[in-house]
Structure 1
């Protein structure tokens, strides 16, 4: 008998109650590490969430657990810096793994399925603050931003590339001897523009390689995700 994943059950229960006003996907970022013994349950939950419609799930592997004896093969100091920036925006010094950040403004324990799914459902019930149109012509990514009503203020435009999946055999550290499946592993995170949030704007960004791409429009100060889109 095949068991239905917990996240799928929770989403089916919560989403009909709040409706789906969101006109763009909800972004969830998982800060995780191959060297963190508490992370595998969050990695498994994240894998379930990544398969849900209306969600862009991005895994950012940090490097601050590498000293425990295993260097995360996907880890980057840039992702550690991004997580610290979220903590600073929340006027906190605390950051940890596993941690999920939902829509740029809600920081949650990465394996707390109930709170995470509830947060995703709540954000899906809200209208997107920015209309985002994205299309790909050969290797040129075309992006158009339009305020959806009231101007949102200064926003950063991010282009993110990610690896859909990878199985890793961990040979040392807290997870020594385990083989873990990782999902939507971020490989590149480029901030390509800063937008005033007032007038429509057209941007173009040249892509290389064939990894999937996500575009995120995020408040420069608040960290709130105003809109997002992805292409396979």
Structure 2
């Protein structure tokens, strides 16, 4: 894990100040599975979210449906653990698919498009408390954080998420046997790359080993709210 560095370099001064406070996108995480017959409508919604500039949509495939006859090739145990962490943080006793979690806070059944759009609109209307910017240069990503209206003191994790914009699956068994499905913004890795106390501007640089698209999330530790997010430019 790379240590945070202050004060900020010229990178932050030129890049972060160019991003308006209102540009902070809303993060929507979809927990889905190729073994879940209720998931395709939510997967279709993720295609729509992936087209929006004001939303970062991420599909995290989970593994707890694999037992019914089809192993989801994009599922990761870490995705299931993240979903379980959200449940504990929110005082919920169960997890399910399809589930969408908005900015690490509210959850909604993934196929309920109108409820989801209402939640996205609510989060867009809130004044952001922090801002993050990220830029790739060669095999490294430089990330800069900045509180917007005074310190946002707390323990925050800085997460680098890499994803594939489109993946295809030919499902041969299970509840969706015979379906040919495309999945948008499939998460390949989600790593904690640093921490931030929210007290002032900070910067960190992390290595990357591939050219997959990536986003950065700044999230309160313990599966709390996501207070800032950005695509890696």
How many angstroms does 1:112 deviate by? 0.3
How many angstroms does 1:46 deviate by? 1.2
Task: Report 1 or 2 for greater relative contact order, CA contacts < 8 Å, sequence distance ≥ 6.
Answer: 2
* Whole-Å separation in 2 of the counterparts to 1:231 and 1:133: 7
* Whole-Å separation in 2 of the counterparts to 1:43 and 1:145: 31
TM-score, normalised to structure 2, is: 0.88
How many angstroms does 1:30 deviate by? 0.2
Q: Is the 8 A contact 1:98 1:111 kept in 2?
A: yes
Question: Which residue in the other structure is 2:189 paired with?
Answer: 188
Q: Is the 8 A contact 1:22 1:126 kept in 2?
A: no
Question: Which residue in the other structure is 1:88 paired with?
Answer: 88
* Whole-Å separation in 1 of the counterparts to 2:149 and 2:102: 23
Question: Which residue in the other structure is 2:117 paired with?
Answer: 117
Q: Is the 8 A contact 1:21 1:125 kept in 2?
A: no
* Whole-Å separation in 2 of the counterparts to 1:223 and 1:78: 17
How many angstroms does 1:21 deviate by? 7.0
Render the CA deviation track for 1:6-49: whole Å, top value 9, x for unaligned: xxxxxxxxxxxxxx973311100000000000000110011111
How many angstroms does 1:74 deviate by? 0.4
- Which region of structure 1 is more displaced relative to structure 2, 101-110 or 193-202? 193-202
Number of equivalences: 213
Runs of at least 5 residues in structure 2 that lack an aligned partner in the other structure:
1-19
Question: Which residue in the other structure is 2:204 paired with?
Answer: 203
Give SS of 1:22's match.
Answer: helix
How many angstroms does 1:222 deviate by? 5.8
Runs of at least 5 residues in structure 1 that lack an aligned partner in the other structure:
1-19
Question: Which residue in the other structure is 1:28 paired with?
Answer: 28
* Whole-Å separation in 1 of the counterparts to 2:222 and 2:80: 18
* Whole-Å separation in 2 of the counterparts to 1:70 and 1:222: 29
Question: Which residue in the other structure is 1:40 paired with?
Answer: 40
Q: Is the 8 A contact 2:21 2:131 kept in 1?
A: no
Render the CA deviation track for 1:93-136: whole Å, top value 9, x for unaligned: 12100000011101110000001011111111112211212111
CA RMSD of aligned residues (A): 1.4
* Whole-Å separation in 2 of the counterparts to 1:131 and 1:50: 21
* Whole-Å separation in 2 of the counterparts to 1:222 and 1:41: 26
1:172 aligns with 2:173: yes
TM-score, normalised to structure 1, is: 0.88
